[in-house]
Structure 1
């Protein structure tokens, strides 16, 4: 049988709907023409109209236009024509000339106010100092890190009035919630015997004011901003809590290879990091010497040295790391160690760390943290704008201030001499005869540092030089020979002004005045340390900026006698009534010591106390 064929079913499709785009009511519809096309058409009509009039010698008027151009916007067409003929370079030049003309009409005070406003806007837009994980997940810590330390009962039993009198006795000013009590003696801080014996051996009997309040605050696990003048013992105040935290972790569960660190201390320069590391090694060694404490492994992480020299540090767990930002980031990226268990972070010279120089490096380092940490910021100069930024990034921080931030050490006699540029070298030899060695000479110019050293060597003076362009070996040799006493004079750039501690420096000579007054405070702070007195001689002349001289004048008003030539310098911001214009940052308008707490160059009296 033949296969039966299926019958195809034919479905009748309904006809497609007919749409009328133009219905009977909208007979005047016109398609849309883009604006640019319409302008081109109008411009072409106007051009042809003008040409026809020119051929006939007729002067064009509004009434002579064709009817379709009667209502045209002449200004718009003129701008369109000019825009086509102009180049981007011509427009940029016009904007530059216009801005230059506006700036020429502004006063110096107005320009300064605009710069200050830009700085404040930049500070306001900064992100908090937090890790990327915390920022991405919106993690916000509201309570400080918990520790097992408690002050002795007789300290806890003191009344708030007694604690206030103790702080007043040592000129300690604090801010924050539930501030831990100040403690006058190392024994009451529950410091191990090994470290106490080491401190006593080095004639450190009583804590300094920053240690009286700072060490108990750090032992309590609180985030802290510590401000004290140079040579006041800040290093012990932030190293000792790190050592105790690492010791506690080691006793609970010993670290094995690949684990750690527990704490990290950041320093802005290699020399300061090396000095801090040597102190940490001495204090941890004193702990082990008693035989009652396990050894603590420390690592120095700075540029210019081979990490293979410290390969032994990686054979066990690392408890403490002292580092500069660049090398620390390199080691973290290479995963030589991690911050998975790191719970203590301290930044020495923190204003320089957070400010423009190292801010991005610090944020990069923060991204490696995986847990909550205790953060401490220490410095001798902490502008108010940096304090406010830091407080936003810390958890219930305690601000400990011994004396006004940025003020010079009162144990240093400041002498300012007007010396012509060509006479500086000769007068330098006279200044060296004021006191016995060792002496430090500062200059911000690296070439000038080398010239001074060469001149002193020719005159028979044993001198070494240190600046950023020297190799690490040369810098270490200079510091080692100067500390040992084999060299009498060190000529240095700003690299040696931050935190370095040299014994028995009686005289500091500032050959060229730094532009920033904070750098001046750090440089003269190399003498007059640990309660000793010293002399700082500063050379100034016509090459010194007037604003820098004005800053120096205000600083000397607080500390010592102001030379006659500085007295004659008038502040352009002084207005009627012998009062200074209010600071745009802290809004001060009163009349007292004219130093602004904001750290900007607008001096006001109400901001003179940095709290």
Structure 2
């Protein structure tokens, strides 16, 4: 091929080279790889931190919003509360209660009301000394004594013991109760006292003694309930005498020492009677010289203590007292309770009632050591039993018959007598039996009027009530007991615990409001296994509730119920309620909300508060 046919090479024009300038805005200098990695890592790290901050900020914002909403809601509620009146709230509460009450029966309402009152009574503090209450001292074990029942009695089976209690109608409550003992000799009572009791025709223990004396000998705290005239005094005095005798035999007492035990009584007359009994038993014990002589002090108002200076100058073993004078003697330090380890309260329901409770607590404050405590009465309502159970140490309840029931040895006659005919009918009633006779009236002026009327009619009569001097009261009791006077006209002061010989007839001129007082009054007859008659005058002036209590008491004792009493209807029966007795006074015809005893106690308490306020700055 020729050179002329060869293709011509075309000149390719290149694009112009870029011109670089350090002043150009788009200039990006070269960054080494290591630096670029470091920069990227820093960027990623800062992005994570910013993300956490954003999350925290978001959460805080949500919390603030919730708080604002809650505040707003609270403001709305507060505004609603301010707009809501107390009257509206009261109406709503009343409406709610009305709906609840509408669903309850009358019986349930009454039971709830009774339970509230009982709870208020039960809220009182225990029967304990100030030292024990302040330091929180509580005893768990009873006092230890050296007495043990005979071996053959200890080995009796539970079934044998149960049958023996059933035989004598003894009801017991408590733990590890000592067995009943049917013979004084098996109780390990000293021969001189056994001979003395035999001379008084007391050969075997009564039911309350049969179980009560072994319990007391064992050092156990005890609540003893038994009919009037059933021998309760011996049941609580004999263990005290034996304890004092044992202490004296260990180390004779000298002046300023003692007492070993104290017996508290609600009235001077009852204290005097208990004191005389203890004197007789202690003298019989020391008569033959085998046992030491015991010193007993009577500490009651109305008598001069200087008359008993011969007793005060020796070591004291036993004190029988009423609360007021005992507190006075303890405050004056005439004797102390530093070594006292036995306390018995006779007619304990009266001692613990509102009228005496503060005095009893005051007396408790003088005790410096553990003591054995015994409470005895014929009328011991459930309220007092529950209160005592809380205050005593492992107590044993010994109950012979229902607490507050009438003595079955008394024939109860209820007569409807108009007020103006009572005096004339009284003379007719006195012809029923031979003297001595006791006539009861709760009104002091009426007591004096009856005595004056009987004296004008030629009847040898004496009168006793709380407003008479101690000398007049002692003269009346002494002349009546000796047989110099045929009739004693008395207020309630002579109804509690006093023991008169061979009273065949008791006349209740005016029926007491409280059924407890009636039980004690008719209990002055039919004592120590003997029979007696109790005639009671009632009329339109007698409250219907009292008549209802009387009706149920007569029915319980199997006595004849007069027609006018049978016509009285129990409002609780119409409501379909259970006819359980009042826990405050034991009356069967009413509940606690209608209890006259509780009303009187509240009235006395209010009166004492008023007198304290009015006489706060007096002399």
Shorter chain as normaliser: what TM range? 0.7 to 0.9
Superposition deviation, residue 125 in structure 1: 1.3
Q: SS where residue 398 of structure 2 aligns?
A: strand
Is it true that 1:563 corresponds to 2:562 in the alignment?
Answer: yes
Corresponding residue of 1:495: 493
Corresponding residue of 1:383: 381
Is it true that 1:290 corresponds to 2:288 in the alignment?
Answer: yes
Q: SS where residue 353 of structure 1 aligns?
A: helix
**d(CA) in 1 for partners of 2:250 and 2:149?**
21
Q: SS where residue 293 of structure 2 aligns?
A: coil
Contact kept, 8 Å, 1:385 with 1:598, in 2: the verdict is no
**d(CA) in 1 for partners of 2:269 and 2:150?**
37
Correspondence list, 1:130-279, <5 A: 130-279=128-277
Partner residue of 1:369 out of 367, 370, 373: 367
Corresponding residue of 1:125: 123
1 or 2, which has the higher helix percentage?
Answer: 2
Contact kept, 8 Å, 1:383 with 1:597, in 2: the verdict is no
Q: SS where residue 571 of structure 2 aligns?
A: coil
Partner residue of 1:346 out of 344, 347, 357: 344
Contact kept, 8 Å, 1:116 with 1:584, in 2: the verdict is no
**d(CA) in 2 for partners of 1:583 and 1:200?**
40
1:75–1:401: structure 2 CA closer, same or farther, 3 Å change rule?
closer
Superposition deviation, residue 382 in structure 1: 0.5
**d(CA) in 2 for partners of 1:293 and 1:131?**
33
Contact kept, 8 Å, 1:116 with 1:600, in 2: the verdict is no
Contact kept, 8 Å, 2:342 with 2:372, in 1: the verdict is yes
1:209–1:561: structure 2 CA closer, same or farther, 3 Å change rule?
same
Structure 2 gap segments, 5+ residues each: 1-78, 88-104, 597-619
**d(CA) in 2 for partners of 1:312 and 1:599?**
51
Query: Over residues 65-116 of structure 1, what are the superposed CA-to-partner deviations in whole Å (9 max), with x where a residue is unaligned?
Result: xxxxx9997998x9xxxxxxxxxxxxxxxxxxxxxxxxxxxx9989976874
Corresponding residue of 1:466: 464
Report the number of matched residues.
499
1:157–1:600: structure 2 CA closer, same or farther, 3 Å change rule?
farther
Q: SS where residue 354 of structure 2 aligns?
A: coil
**d(CA) in 1 for partners of 2:284 and 2:318?**
16
Corresponding residue of 1:8: none
1:480–1:583: structure 2 CA closer, same or farther, 3 Å change rule?
closer
Corresponding residue of 2:435: 437
Is it true that 1:330 corresponds to 2:324 in the alignment?
Answer: no
Give the TM-score normalised by structure 2.
Answer: 0.77
**d(CA) in 2 for partners of 1:529 and 1:467?**
23
Contact kept, 8 Å, 1:583 with 1:596, in 2: the verdict is yes
1:599–1:320: structure 2 CA closer, same or farther, 3 Å change rule?
farther
Q: SS where residue 262 of structure 2 aligns?
A: strand
Corresponding residue of 1:98: none
Q: SS where residue 208 of structure 2 aligns?
A: helix
Contact kept, 8 Å, 1:273 with 1:323, in 2: the verdict is yes
Corresponding residue of 1:517: 515
**d(CA) in 1 for partners of 2:477 and 2:147?**
38
Correspondence list, 1:469-480, <5 A: 469-480=467-478
Contact kept, 8 Å, 2:221 with 2:393, in 1: the verdict is yes
Corresponding residue of 1:52: none
**d(CA) in 2 for partners of 1:263 and 1:412?**
34
**d(CA) in 1 for partners of 2:181 and 2:561?**
38
Contact kept, 8 Å, 1:300 with 1:321, in 2: the verdict is yes
Contact kept, 8 Å, 1:549 with 1:566, in 2: the verdict is yes
Contact kept, 8 Å, 2:297 with 2:320, in 1: the verdict is yes
**d(CA) in 2 for partners of 1:158 and 1:191?**
21
Query: Over residues 278-325 of structure 1, what are the superposed CA-to-partner deviations in whole Å (9 max), with x where a residue is unaligned?
Result: 000000000110110111000000000000010111111100000000
Query: Over residues 366-390 of structure 1, what are the superposed CA-to-partner deviations in whole Å (9 max), with x where a residue is unaligned?
Result: 0000000000000000000110000
**d(CA) in 2 for partners of 1:109 and 1:450?**
45
Corresponding residue of 1:35: none
Q: SS where residue 406 of structure 1 aligns?
A: coil
Contact kept, 8 Å, 1:383 with 1:599, in 2: the verdict is no
**d(CA) in 2 for partners of 1:197 and 1:583?**
43
**d(CA) in 1 for partners of 2:284 and 2:471?**
28
Contact kept, 8 Å, 1:226 with 1:378, in 2: the verdict is yes
**d(CA) in 1 for partners of 2:80 and 2:192?**
96
**d(CA) in 1 for partners of 2:582 and 2:544?**
21
Query: Over residues 145-196 of structure 1, what are the superposed CA-to-partner deviations in whole Å (9 max), with x where a residue is unaligned?
Result: 0000000111111111111111111111100000001000000000011111
**d(CA) in 1 for partners of 2:352 and 2:515?**
18
Superposition deviation, residue 574 in structure 1: 1.2
Partner residue of 2:411 out of 407, 410, 413: 413
Contact kept, 8 Å, 1:246 with 1:319, in 2: the verdict is yes
Contact kept, 8 Å, 2:461 with 2:485, in 1: the verdict is yes
Q: SS where residue 355 of structure 2 aligns?
A: coil
1:270–1:256: structure 2 CA closer, same or farther, 3 Å change rule?
same
Give the TM-score normalised by structure 1.
Answer: 0.78
1:248–1:598: structure 2 CA closer, same or farther, 3 Å change rule?
farther
1:287–1:397: structure 2 CA closer, same or farther, 3 Å change rule?
same
**d(CA) in 2 for partners of 1:435 and 1:507?**
7
**d(CA) in 2 for partners of 1:511 and 1:189?**
43
Larger radius of gyration: 2
Is it true that 1:315 corresponds to 2:313 in the alignment?
Answer: yes
1:71–1:310: structure 2 CA closer, same or farther, 3 Å change rule?
closer
Partner residue of 1:446 out of 439, 444, 447: 444
Structure 1 gap segments, 5+ residues each: 1-69, 79-106, 587-592, 603-611
Query: Over residues 314-349 of structure 1, what are the superposed CA-to-partner deviations in whole Å (9 max), with x where a residue is unaligned?
Result: 111100000000000000000000000000000000
Query: Over residues 414-453 of structure 1, what are the superposed CA-to-partner deviations in whole Å (9 max), with x where a residue is unaligned?
Result: 0000000000000000000000000000000000000000
Q: SS where residue 573 of structure 1 aligns?
A: helix
Superposition deviation, residue 122 in structure 1: 3.0
Where do 4+ consecutive residues of structure 1 move more than 4 Å?
Answer: 70-76, 107-115, 581-586, 593-602
Corresponding residue of 2:279: 281
User: How well do the aligned residues superpose, as a CA RMSD in angstroms?
Assistant: 2.6
